């Protein structure tokens, strides 16, 4: 499995559509979200199967997690793919979870 981890993704927060967007190899990908108070719920990852197989989904998720961390808000991953990534990297990202929420 390839991984592009040294490539910087350009992430756009489209607040009107409530989604983080990026373009990878000419294809648009997005993570849809809902926000309330100091929490952001990552509800859906939309990305081609080919991009996921190449490992781009993890790079995209990490980039979005970094944005959320910079904004100092809590993260609730309701998308199964994002929740799975969060469980796999629990130690690194556990501080992003709201108090009392375990993944």
pTM for the model stands at: 0.90
Task: Give me the pLDDT at residue 97, please.
Answer: 95
**Within 10 Å of residue 62's Cβ, how many Cβ atoms?**
15
Residue 57 dihedral angles phi and psi, to the nearest 5°: -60, -40
The more confident residue out of 64 and 103 is: 64
**What are the tens digits of pLDDT across the range 47-101?**
999 999 999 999 999 999 999 999 999 999 999 999 999 999 999 999 999 988 8
Task: Give me the pLDDT at residue 8, please.
Answer: 78
**What are the tens digits of pLDDT across the range 66-76?**
999 999 999 99
């Amino acid at each position: 499995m390839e991984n592009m981890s040294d490539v910087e993704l350009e992430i756009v927060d489209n607040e009107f559509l409530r989604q983080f967007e990026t373009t990878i190899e000419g294809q648009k990908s997005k993570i849809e979200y809902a926000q309330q108070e100091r929490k952001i719920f990552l509800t859906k990852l939309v990305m081609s199967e080919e991009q996921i197989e190449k490992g781009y989904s993890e790079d995209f998720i990490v980039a979005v997690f970094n944005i959320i961390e910079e904004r100092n808000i809590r993260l609730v991953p309701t998308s199964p793919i994002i929740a799975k990534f969060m469980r796999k990297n629990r130690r690194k990202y556990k501080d992003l979870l709201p108090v009392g929420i375990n993944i």
